[in-house]
Amino acid sequence: MGKSKHKISNWKQYNQALVQRGSLTVWMDEQAIQQWHCQTHHGRRGRGFHYSDSAIETALMLKAVFKLPLRALEGFINSLFELMNVPLQSPDYSCISKRAK
């Protein structure tokens, strides 16, 4: 890689920008939180789904982005909810696996 042609003049701002690159910001809107649990029945025999399709899709998206195994994903989502002070739980790893198919 060659030398940069742009000379940095404000090192404090540049340093803060580099630190900010490692920041993790996760945002969930109120509607997504309200729709975390499934409100409708799937239309087949047996027990209905506990988690909505959007909850499963969100979990699978986080799994892909952070390259997590399913069990670690469950803990990751639970810790995010804890940090956000949201009274929700992550779907069980087996539920995510079955619904992903």
In order along its 101 residues, the chain shows pLDDT tens digits of: 566 677 888 888 888 888 888 777 777 778 888 888 887 777 778 777 889 999 999 999 999 999 999 999 999 999 999 988 989 999 999 999 999 98
Asked if residue 11 belongs to a domain, the reply is: no
The values of phi and psi at residue 26, to 5°, are: -120, 130
Asked if residue 63 belongs to a domain, the reply is: yes
Q: Name which of 65, 75, 52 is nearest 26 in CA terms.
A: 65
pLDDT in the model for residue 2: 64
pLDDT in the model for residue 25: 73
Q: Which domain holds residue 60?
A: 30-40+49-101
Asked if residue 12 belongs to a domain, the reply is: no
The string of DSSP letters for 47-94 reads PPPSB-HHHHHHHHHHHHHHT--HHHHHHHHHHHHHHTT----PPPHH
d(CA 26, CA 4): 32
pLDDT tens sequence across 25-51: 777 778 888 888 887 777 778 777 889
> Within a 10 A sphere around the Cβ of 74, how many other Cβ atoms?
21
pLDDT in the model for residue 32: 82
Asked if residue 8 belongs to a domain, the reply is: no
Q: How many domains does the chain have?
A: 1
